[in-house]
Amino acid sequence: MSTTAKLILQDQTYDIPVVEGSEGEKGLDISRLRAQTGYITLDPSYGNTGSCLSGITYIDGDAGILRYRGIDIGELCEHSTFMEVSYLLIYGHLPTEAEYARFKERVHHHSLIHEDMKSFFTSYPGHAHPMAILSAMVCSLSVYHPQLLEPEQTQSQRDQAITRLLSKVRVLAAFAYKRSVGEAFVYTRPELDYLSNFMHMMFTTPMREYVPDETIRKALDVLFILHADHEQNCSTSTVRMVGSSKANLFASLSAGICALWGPLHGGANQAVIEMLQTIHADGGGNYKKYIEKAKDKSDPFLLMGFGHRVYKNYDPRAAIIKKYCDKVLEHLGIHDPILEIAKGLEEAALTDPYFIERKLYPNVDFYSGIIYRALKIPTNMFTVMFALGRLPGWIAHWKEMVEDPGMKIARPRQIYTGERSNNYVPIGIRP
């Protein structure tokens, strides 16, 4: 395979290096294009543009494959835990027993936030969206860790920031929920695992103790593993963009949380449930009406939870989450009509030529909210759940980037299409 491509511009021929990844993906390395030719490329939503070389996650969108550090997510969901997958993504290998024990101990050790921060929560109105609180609080955490904000950090400082954020963001999320329902904040318990502690902080009150449930813990582990990373998605690219200025990890993650909030990205899991509830309120089985709305270009309505920039096949995560919907609802003895509506809508869409031609399948957000509903997690907390799951992926990409000696600040170019040279006209004589 030739390692260069030929680019002919006017009467000049340029050699463009070809880059090939470990899975055979090929790219044109245009990092010297402007210097060589005076031209730049234009790709507004980066659908054809690679921003980096990365060894963390591999997606084959046509085959519906997702692997973390080469391990298929189906295997990780079956055999691993969210904490172990977090270590795998961040440090690049499955931990030894000693590494895993130390990692879990360090994450648990840092599960307190400064008591001053509790007053920050009470300054928000009860109706504040928890994603607004979470992004603000993650950035505010940096105030209490000045030693972890230096642009040039040691491996030890990076590890300290990583374990503190993995542990404390879960606390901030639970506290945001408690604030919204007017309940007292609850602290972690030493004997509980990472996710059972999150559920304990969410649902224990002075009147009743949250009772850990193995089926629920496993379902949450699987959900969080499936959300843990997804290569250069919008929020991860945001974390890389912010981190490339040598902004600290707290600020980079805070920006990633904001990017995830959008309904075209992580905010879709909240929008899916709101869509399904609308369909339910409208009789529950009128799928055709909503599929026609989604196809109508004059209607801004989209079938939320459907479609994906990379997957042009069934999102492998959606298939696993759909199975866990049945498991969790059966375990809890819940019959949720919303699940039936979701399955009916999926079946109707997947037989409609519009969706077939465009290869629009359910994505990770289509079924996840149904499990969160069954766990009594409020709809406006669904994207927070996505953020908690995506934390290790964001951290892994930030770490991979800042540890690259060749890292440079991200600064895209543009093609200017505005006014040419203009003169200033004093206000009194403007037309």
Catalytic residues: 308, 365
Determine phi and psi for 328, rounding to 5 degrees: -70, -45
Which residue number, 73 or 113, has a Cβ lying nearer to ligand SDX?
73
Total residues in contact with ligand SDX, by rule CB under 6 A: 21
**What are the contacts of 43-46 at 24+ separation with CB within 8 A?**
46/232, 46/237
Tokens of 38: 């005076």
Q: Does 304 bind ligand SDX (CB under 6 A)?
A: yes
Q: Does 345 bind ligand SDX (CB under 6 A)?
A: no
The binding track of 223-262 with respect to ligand SDX, each residue x by CB under 6 A or -, is -------x--x-----------------------------
Nearest distance in Å: CB 393, ligand SDX: 8
Q: Does 305 bind ligand SDX (CB under 6 A)?
A: yes
Interacting span for ligand SDX (CB under 6 A) from 8-16, 77-85, 92-100, 265-273: 265-273
**Interior/surface letters 218-241, b for 16+ CB within 10 angstroms, e for the rest:** bbbbbbbbbbbbbbbbbbbbbbbb
Which residue number, 158 or 230, has a Cβ lying nearer to ligand SDX?
230
Contact with ligand SDX (CB under 6 A) among 171, 303, 375, 388 = 303
Q: Does 306 bind ligand SDX (CB under 6 A)?
A: yes
Q: Is the CB of residue 392 less than 8 Å from the CB of residue 90? A: yes
Nearest distance in Å: CB 34, ligand SDX: 27
Which residue number, 365 or 400, has a Cβ lying nearer to ligand SDX?
365
Q: Does 268 bind ligand SDX (CB under 6 A)?
A: yes
Which residue number, 204 or 363, has a Cβ lying nearer to ligand SDX?
363
Which residue number, 203 or 229, has a Cβ lying nearer to ligand SDX?
229
Alpha helices in 182-228 (DSSP H): 194-203, 214-227
Tokens of 152: 């040039």
Provide the 3-class DSSP secondary structure of residue 6.
strand
Question: Measured between alpha carbons, how far is 82 from 96 in angstroms, rounded to an integer?
Answer: 15
Interacting span for ligand SDX (CB under 6 A) from 25-33, 195-203, 264-272, 373-381: 264-272
Contact with ligand SDX (CB under 6 A) among 158, 308, 397, 399 = 308
Sheet holding 4-9, edge to edge: 4-9, 12-20, 26-28
What string of DSSP letters covers 132-158?
HHHHHHHHHHGGG-GGG--SS--HHHH
Residue 265: CB partners within 8 Å, gap ≥ 6?
A: 233, 234, 235, 259
List residues near ligand SDX by CB under 6 A: 230, 233, 264-266, 268, 294, 302-310, 358, 360, 363-365
